[in-house]
Amino acid sequence: MAAPALSAAASGEGAAAPSVPPWEGLWIGPDGCAAFHDPPAPLPGPGYAWIDARADAPRQWLPALERISGVQVLEEHLSDAENAAHRSYFDSTRDYEMIVFRGLSLPEPPDPDRPIRIRTRPSVFFLFPRCLVSIRPPDGGEVPALRRRLLDGARHQRLPARPDELMLRILSGMVDRYLELRQPLTAQLDDWQRELLDPRHAFRDWVALLEARRQLRNLENLSEEQLDALQEWRDERLDRRDTEDRRADSRPAVETPGAPVHTPPDRVDGAAAWPLPPLTDVLEVRVNDLVEHIERVRSHARRLEDSVETAVQLHFSATAHRTNQIVRTLTVLTAIFMPLTLIIGIFGMNFEFLPGIHSPAGFWWTLGAMAAIAGALLVFFRARRYLEEGGPGTPLRRGRRRGRPAG
């Protein structure tokens, strides 16, 4: 059956201007794609509908969805879809599934001189057996770009055969934006690490560094929430597939004459006319690939956070090492001048008779003795390597023990 014809009228009360409609519909069938404004009821032939709605036009897509599926979305789920601070989340009913997935918001290229701030916004997906509703931020560009590619290049690429396959393609594009963030974030943190370990300059960007660590921790927590939502959805679909496999195995191979034939009703107590399909092997591979991408984002954020923590520890270790070197040098100098101060204090006593005080050479003998004591202590401390970079107990280098190599 042919795809639904285009309609010039917009759907829903209080619709936005024609240039920026509150939602846009796309029919995806085996013969191609076609945009629609008035949803067809009932849906034609094989295929499904995609309603792409903006988050700044809440609930204007509901009449179109109810006309397509005949299902009413729960008020709690509608409130969750309007919550801009909602975390990544999955929930389901008998009629549909809801997935909240927070995507990256980068309005402009990252500035290498300023800390990269990871800002996210939620995208909400309602999965029906023959319809997908995506609610995205108004300035999000991934979903409109995908819709244009499906309309313009449908002949040159394989169309997603099911709503959940289309949703996975959108989620994959959202996760790829996190992977694109790795290079500028890694370059910025590498620059900070070099500044941390540079002994010639004191590191002063502590506020920016702590903010970067906080952003990395937020990215790690965000990835964990995404993984939980996606894995819960995958597990539920796999459980549904196992249930259907058990039911298929329990059916008799040969029909018994007179046995009742069970056919799915059109609608029973508000249940959808088309059951939510189980997860196929192809979609399971795609879900696993998406989970692996999110794992890579989380692992990369964790590695960067660990490397920053290691660089900070090395910075403080190097600072403590330089402080120890200075304190050791000052201690050695104090130890050298201590006996000299003692001699000066003895000869500065107010006694009338002191050895050599009335001798013409007494001053020179005392000065020579002080110089000899200072030289002996200096030789002793150098022999003990108290004035070397490695400190006491460090073995001498081979070149210093055996002389300069030949040639």
- More confident position, 112 or 218: 218
Closest CA to 212 of 185, 191, 243, 193: 185
Average pLDDT of 52-72?
88
Pair of tokens at residue 291: 């989970």
**pLDDT tens digits along 74-100:** 999 999 999 988 999 999 998 899 999
- Tell me which DSSP letter residue 160 carries: P
In angstroms, rounded to a whole number, what is the distance separating the alpha carbons of residues 166 and 160? 5
Q: What phi and psi, each to the nearest 5 degrees, are found at residue 135? A: -115, 110
Residue 369: per-residue pLDDT: 86
Average pLDDT of 330-359?
81
- From 47-51, 65-69, 155-159, 181-185, the region with the lowest mean pLDDT: 155-159
State the residue for tokens 């329990």.
Answer: 250
Find the helix or strand (DSSP H, E) in which 27 lies: strand 23-29
Residue 101: per-residue pLDDT: 92
Establish whether the linkage from the previous residue to 42 is cis, with ω within 30° of 0. yes
**CA separation (Å) from 84 to 92, 102, 217, 289, 316?**
20, 9, 20, 27, 41
Question: Among 8-22, 292-306, 315-329, 381-395, which range has the highest average pLDDT?
Answer: 292-306
Q: 10 Å Cβ neighbour count for 84?
A: 8
Q: What phi and psi, each to the nearest 5 degrees, are found at residue 50? A: -125, 120
State the residue for tokens 């795609």.
Answer: 286
**CA separation (Å) from 47 to 22, 31, 95, 269?**
23, 9, 18, 25
Does the pLDDT value for residue 49 go beyond 70? yes
**pLDDT tens digits along 216-226:** 888 888 889 99
Average pLDDT of 321-334?
84
CATH 1.20.58.340 fits 323-394, yes or no: yes
Residue 173: per-residue pLDDT: 87
In angstroms, rounded to a whole number, what is the distance separating the alpha carbons of residues 218 and 304? 12
Residue 80: per-residue pLDDT: 92
Closest CA to 99 of 109, 89, 114, 107: 89
Residue 204: per-residue pLDDT: 75
CATH 3.30.70.600 fits 23-246+273-316, yes or no: no
Closest CA to 280 of 245, 230, 232: 245
Residue 391: per-residue pLDDT: 56
Find the helix or strand (DSSP H, E) in which 26 lies: strand 23-29
Pair of tokens at residue 98: 């809801």
**pLDDT tens digits along 264-292:** 434 433 334 446 777 888 888 999 999 99
Cross-strand partners of 51: 25, 133
Calculate the CA 39 to chain-centre distance: 38
Q: What is the DSSP string of 287-317?
A: HHHHHHHHHHHHHHHHHHHHHHHHHHHHHHH
Calculate the CA 293 to chain-centre distance: 11
Residue 132: per-residue pLDDT: 93
Average pLDDT of 327-349?
84
Residue 3: per-residue pLDDT: 46
Calculate the CA 268 to chain-centre distance: 43
Question: Among 67-71, 198-202, 206-210, which range has the highest average pLDDT?
Answer: 67-71
Cross-strand partners of 134: 52, 125
Confidence of residue 126 (pLDDT cuts 50, 70, 90): very high
Residue 14: per-residue pLDDT: 42
For the chain, the structural domain boundaries read 23-246+273-316, 323-394
Q: Maximum CA pair distance of the chain?
A: 140
Average pLDDT of 25-32?
86
Contacts of 22 (CB under 8 A, 6+ apart): 10, 12, 15, 16, 53, 54, 57, 60, 61
Contacts of 20 (CB under 8 A, 6+ apart): none
Residue % of the chain over a pLDDT of 70: 78
Residue 401: per-residue pLDDT: 44
